[in-house]
Every structure is written in structure tokens, then in C-alpha cells.
Amino acid sequence: MELPPIVLAGRAVLRKPAAPVPPEEIGTKQLKQLVSTMVAVMRKAPGVGLAAPQIGVGQQVIVLEDGEALMSRLTPEQRAERGRVPFPLQVIVNPTLKVLAPSLPAGADAAGAGRATFFEGCLSVPGYMALVERDLSVEVSGVDADGKEVRWQATGWPARILQHEVDHLRGTLYVDRMISRSFCSNEEAKVLLGQSVAEARAALGA
Ligand code: CO
């Protein structure tokens, strides 16, 4: 199967809200074909998530998957800090996202709670990454390609990926949300990723 290329920032389809998949298309061969193409493109890249607009299709479909191989360069401390854990393939059609309130000890200061800031990148903005603040816990609901209901509560890195992919369906890229002074090439990021987020921010004045 010849795979479509990933479209890059600058293509209009990445900047338009994606259309919901109509009920009559759920469960069709056509939708299943789109999903299997997206999964193949994501795995080949390789990436941990892909939204349909990234292969030029303006429909509300996202796929996500994270595995050991993709996080092998992170230390156990870095994995724990990011909340990065492997999860099996998730296919979500017409997703809606809800932020889950953080569980706080009584009397704790809620300001900034339930949010986390880390470097993230995007297959449609290759070669770069930046710090982005995201909600720590979210719940997504939608259906899979067969129309079966999907509901998933995600925390940490999976929650970050979900927010990133759902953003794609709204025509939003991480560069719209990033701490702009933290924008850096993947080459330079090798040093920054070895530091704490606070150190990286101090180094860049971000
Ligand atoms: Co992306």
C-alpha cells in the first residue's frame, strides 16, 4: 500500500475545523480504510498520534499509540516526570474532550494545578519542538470506526497526545499554544531535554 505523505504546516486543511464523520459513514469500508491508512502513516513516521487533516482529510478522526520502542531514550525519571506510559492503539471518530479536575489535598492552592509543561513536537512541523502547557487529565469520548462507543480517561503523556490531536481537528497546531521563546530545533533540543523544564526555560529566557 502506498502511503500518503504527511501534510506540513502551511497547508490550509491543517487550519480549518475538521467536519464530523456523518452517521452513515460510520462502519463503512471507506472509514476503516482511512483509519488503517492513518495508523500505517503514524507507525511509519514514527509518531504517537495522527489526525486525519495531517493526511489531507478534513474529517474528525484521530489515532494514537505509544510503545516502549518510542520512549526507549527516556530515563525512568524522565518517563515518570512526563507520565509517559505505553498504551495500545486508540481510534477515535468524532471525539469530544473534557478536562478532568485534579484531585487536590484539602486546602491546597488550585492555581496551576492539573497542568503540565513539557516539550512537544508535531509531524506536520518537522524538525522542531517547544514547551506547551497542557491539562494533566482529560476524558475523551467518541466512537471507533465500527461505531462502538469509546470513552478513555487519560493522564500525563497520553492526555497530552490527546489534546494535541483533538487540537488538529479544530485547526490548531501546537505552535499556537507554545511558549514561543522555547521553540527550538530538534538538534538543539537534545541538550535541553537532558535538563529539567525549569533549567531549559531559564536557558532560553522562556
Ligand atoms: Co501534530
- Total of domains in the chain: 1
How does 66-85 read in b/e, with b if 16+ C-beta sit within 10 Å? Answer: beeeebeeeeeeeeebbbbe
190: containing domain: 12-97+115-204
The pTM of this model reads 0.94
Compute the distance from residue 8 Cα to the ligand 1 centre, in Å: 10
Asked if residue 3 belongs to a domain, the reply is no
Helices 197-204, 186-193: crossing angle, 10 deg rounding? 130
> Which residue stretches of the chain have pLDDT < 50?
none
Q: What is the pLDDT of residue 173?
A: 98
Q: Which three cell numbers stand for residue 142?
A: 467518541
Asked if residue 44 belongs to a domain, the reply is yes
Compute the distance from residue 104 Cα to the ligand 1 centre, in Å: 31
Asked if residue 107 belongs to a domain, the reply is no
Asked if residue 196 belongs to a domain, the reply is yes
Compute the distance from residue 168 Cα to the ligand 1 centre, in Å: 7
Beta strands in 1-147 (DSSP E): 49-51, 61-66, 87-99, 115-120, 128-135, 137-143
In sequence order, which residues have a C-beta less than 8 Å from that of residue 19 and are 6 or more positions away? 58, 59, 60
Asked if residue 178 belongs to a domain, the reply is yes
In the structure, ligand 1 is a single-atom ion and the residues with CB under 5 Å from it are 122
Distance CA 53, CA 98 (A): 22
Asked if residue 57 belongs to a domain, the reply is yes
Asked if residue 104 belongs to a domain, the reply is no
Task: Respond yes or no: is residue 2 known to be catalytic.
Answer: no
Asked if residue 138 belongs to a domain, the reply is yes
Q: What is the pLDDT of residue 99?
A: 96
Beta strands in 122-167 (DSSP E): 128-135, 137-143, 149-155
Out of 165, 187, 188, 199, the active site residue is 165
For the domain that residue 190 is a member of, what is the CATH number? Answer: 3.90.45.10
